[in-house]
């Protein structure tokens, strides 16, 4: 039996191949295999990126042997750090901003010295969530659909659908339910004249 051929990203500046247990959906973009420099996951699928999702420059997958990250479809992931030996699940249409940290411990430890332990809980991000710059999500963070996390917030609890949280520690400061036109069918062209 022959080993599967090494997979390289087109136009990648980093010489290492994509880890064998990483799946990338159709029409999705991953900036470089450099994202996996400290990747140690031995799960059958350590990272799964849905279709039509962009994972951009600066994103880091620092996963331990049991680490697993799933990113949904139509998402935008801009330079977060996934440093966990646990599970992170991100829904469809999510926006993850710069320097967001998904951590299984409150203290960062360099990879060679790190003793990976099983975290106390998974981190889940629902569909259509927005997470602001430098937010930190710890085990137990469960963001409901459409939740918004303010910049530099620290979250380790269940956030209801469409809630807005901010602060360190984070607390609910409002809500942002989707707007609905009542009593008529709304389409972009019926209100704005736009044909898109």
Residue 152: which CATH number?
Answer: 2.160.10.10
| Dist. CA 194–CA 132, nearest whole Å | 29
Q: What is the pLDDT of residues 64-114, one digit of tens each?
A: 899 999 999 999 999 999 999 999 999 999 999 999 999 986 555 555 556
- The H or E element containing residue 191 is helix 188-192
The answer to whether residue 122 is domain-embedded is yes
Residue 49 · residue 38 · CB < 8 Å: no
Q: Cα–Cα distance between 134 and 154 in angstroms, integer?
A: 9
Confirm whether 6 is domain-assigned: no
Give the count of alpha carbons within 13 A of 119, CB side only. Answer: 27
Instruction: Confirm whether 66 is domain-assigned.
Output: yes
| Gap between the Cα atoms of 64 and 165, Å rounded | 29
Q: Domain span at residue 121?
A: 22-192
What is the distance between the alpha carbons of residues 42 and 46, in angstroms, rounded to a whole number? 7
Residue 175 pLDDT exceeds 90: yes
> Which pLDDT value is given to residue 178?
85
Residue 171 lies in a domain: yes
Strand, helix or coil for residue 13: coil
Does residue 16 form part of some domain?
no
Q: What are phi and psi of 144, to 5 degrees?
A: -70, 170
| Average pLDDT value over all residues in the chain | 88
- Percent of the chain at pLDDT > 70 equals 82
pLDDT at 186 over 80: no
Q: Are 93 and 74 in contact (CB under 8 A)?
A: yes
Judge whether 46 lies within some domain.
yes
Structural domains counted in the chain: 1
Residue 4 lies in a domain: no
For residue 134, is it within any domain? yes
Side-by-side strand order, sheet with 81-84? 60-63, 81-84, 101-103, 136-137, 154-155
Q: Inform me whether the pLDDT recorded for 170 exceeds 50.
A: yes
């Amino acid at each position: 039996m022959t080993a599967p051929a090494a997979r390289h990203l087109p136009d990648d500046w980093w010489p290492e191949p994509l880890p064998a247990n990483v799946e990338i959906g159709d029409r999705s973009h991953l900036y470089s295999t450099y994202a996996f420099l400290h990747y140690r996951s031995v799960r059958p699928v350590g990272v799964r990126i849905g279709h039509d999702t962009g994972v951009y420059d600066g994103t880091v997958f620092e996963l331990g042997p049991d680490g697993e990250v799933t990113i949904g479809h139509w998402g935008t992931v801009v330079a977060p750090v996934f440093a966990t030996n646990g599970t992170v699940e991100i829904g469809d249409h999510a926006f993850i901003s710069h320097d967001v940290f998904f951590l299984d411990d409150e203290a960062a430890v360099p990879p060679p010295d790190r003793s990976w332990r099983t975290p106390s809980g998974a981190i889940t991000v629902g569909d259509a969530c927005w997470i602001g710059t430098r937010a930190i999500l710890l085990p137990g963070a469960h963001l409901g659909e459409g939740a918004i996390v303010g910049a530099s917030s620290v979250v380790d609890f269940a956030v209801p659908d469409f809630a807005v949280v901010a602060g360190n520690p984070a607390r609910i400061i409002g809500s942002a339910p989707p707007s609905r036109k009542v009593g008529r069918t709304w389409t972009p062209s019926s209100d704005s004249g736009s044909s898109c």
